[in-house]
């Protein structure tokens, strides 16, 4: 029924059912690692571009509410998020955002705040930003690699630890700020199906670091965000992402990002609503292995699989296709995470 309604909307609106592009930042500074930073000049340029081109910048919680309700989002909807709660957000990003009256969300971990880690905002500063409209949301207690079990830990013990971590963090944020959004940004973008099940159990929404626009076809436990930093901070490449569309995925197999031992070349099968997509124009990219054409097994279903083992750590399959009826590209991204072949995790 929901699918039929969605297809009717597509027909009525000329394929204009829109999604939101969620931007993910860390540092806004000239002096922090480039891989997780944009410079103040770059950030200013990006916000000016949003303003000049009349983007609809909304709170992340509004995007979540729309996705949950399968509501039509206005064209060019953007949500701005920051992970970790660095001081540069208060000092540099916040004044710029205030100038444009743009809302934003801060995903924070509790332990770094309590221990006053370097470059981290205090609760007092976070509360000041919250009173001026910032949303404060969950980034776990200590910014842990959630999928990693501790030595000697059973799966049930690990699950209880992760569940307690998420709930304790949410309770602390609510106690200090009065906010409770039940929005969790996975540290490092790492999650698996069992963690997604915890979020479903407690009515949380999860955010990854895989690319794409969030919309009616997005899983609420793994909403995509576009990381903006380093090589991806250039305005010319960012412009393309700002106009992204929500890939109309109807079904997908093998969506758990955590790979089983030695299954380092995972295959996924994806079924799409093809009304606005030309299969000849859809192209996939295997991180570290380049472009790869999908294997179409029917008019609306394809498979994709790496030809070489994915490396230890995090990687992705990305697939894109231009819209046939409007400007912009549909994006689909499947994240993967695996340990080394000896079972050890990559040190970070």
Environment class of 51 (CB within 10 Å of its CB; exposed 0-12, middle 13-18, buried 19+):
middle
Q: Which helix (DSSP H) or strand (DSSP E) does residue 84 occupy? A: none
Residue predicted with more confidence, 75 or 339? 339
Q: Provide mean pLDDT across the span 132-158.
A: 97
pLDDT tens by residue, 82-108: 999 999 999 999 999 999 999 999 999
pLDDT tens by residue, 193-218: 999 999 999 999 999 999 999 998 89
Do the Cβ atoms of 277 and 249 come closer than 8 Å?
Answer: no
Domains, in order of start, for the chain: 18-244 (3.20.20.370), 251-338 (2.60.40.10)
Report residue 69 as tokens. 């309700």
pLDDT of 6 reads 40
Q: Which residue, chain included where needed, has tokens 């920051």? A: 82
pLDDT tens by residue, 269-326: 999 999 999 999 999 999 999 999 999 999 999 999 999 999 999 999 999 999 999 8
* pTM of the complete model: 0.93
Q: Provide mean pLDDT across the span 115-137.
A: 95
Judge whether residue 219 has pLDDT over 60. yes
Nearest to 214 by CA among 81, 30, 347: 81
pLDDT of 216 reads 86
* Mean pLDDT of the residues in the chain: 93
pLDDT tens by residue, 146-195: 999 999 999 999 999 999 999 999 999 999 999 999 999 999 999 999 99
pLDDT of 17 reads 52
pLDDT of 177 reads 96
Q: Provide mean pLDDT across the span 6-18.
A: 43
Do the Cβ atoms of 337 and 259 come closer than 8 Å?
Answer: yes
């Amino acid at each position: 029924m929901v699918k039929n309604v969605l297809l009717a909307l597509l027909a009525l609106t000329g394929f204009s059912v829109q999604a939101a592009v969620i931007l993910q930042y860390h540092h806004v500074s000239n002096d922090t690692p480039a891989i997780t930073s944009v410079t103040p000049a770059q950030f200013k340029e990006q916000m000016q571009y949003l303003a000049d081109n009349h983007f609809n910048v909304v709170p992340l919680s509004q995007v979540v509410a729309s996705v949950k309700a399968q509501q039509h989002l206005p064209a060019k909807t953007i949500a701005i998020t920051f992970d970790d709660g660095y001081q540069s957000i208060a000092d540099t990003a916040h004044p710029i955002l205030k100038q444009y009256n743009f809302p934003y969300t801060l995903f924070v971990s509790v332990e770094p705040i309590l221990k006053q880690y370097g470059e981290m905002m205090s609760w007092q500063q976070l509360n000041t930003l919250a009173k001026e409209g910032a949303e404060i949301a969950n980034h776990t207690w200590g910014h842990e690699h959630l999928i990693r079990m501790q030595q000697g830990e059973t799966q049930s013990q690990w699950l209880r630890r992760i569940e307690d971590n998420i709930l304790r963090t949410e309770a602390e944020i609510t106690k200090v700020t009065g906010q409770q959004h039940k929005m969790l940004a996975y540290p490092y973008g790492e999650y698996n199906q069992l963690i997604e099940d915890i979020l479903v159990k407690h009515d949380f929404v999860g955010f990854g670091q895989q690319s794409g626009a969030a919309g009616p076809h997005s899983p609420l436990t793994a909403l995509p965000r576009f990381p903006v930093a380093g090589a991806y901070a250039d305005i010319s490449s960012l412009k393309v992402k700002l106009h992204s569309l929500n890939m109309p995925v109807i079904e997908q197999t093998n969506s758990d990002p955590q790979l089983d031992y030695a299954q380092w070349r995972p295959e996924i099968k994806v079924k799409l609503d093809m009304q606005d997509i030309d299969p000849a124009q859809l192209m996939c990219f295997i991180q570290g292995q380049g472009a790869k054409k999908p294997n179409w097994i029917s008019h609306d279903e394809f498979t994709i699989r790496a030809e070489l083992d994915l490396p230890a750590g995090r990687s992705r399959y990305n697939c894109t296709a231009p819209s046939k009826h409007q400007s912009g590209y549909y994006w689909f991204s499947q994240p993967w995470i695996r340990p080394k072949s000896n079972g050890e995790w990559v040190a970070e």
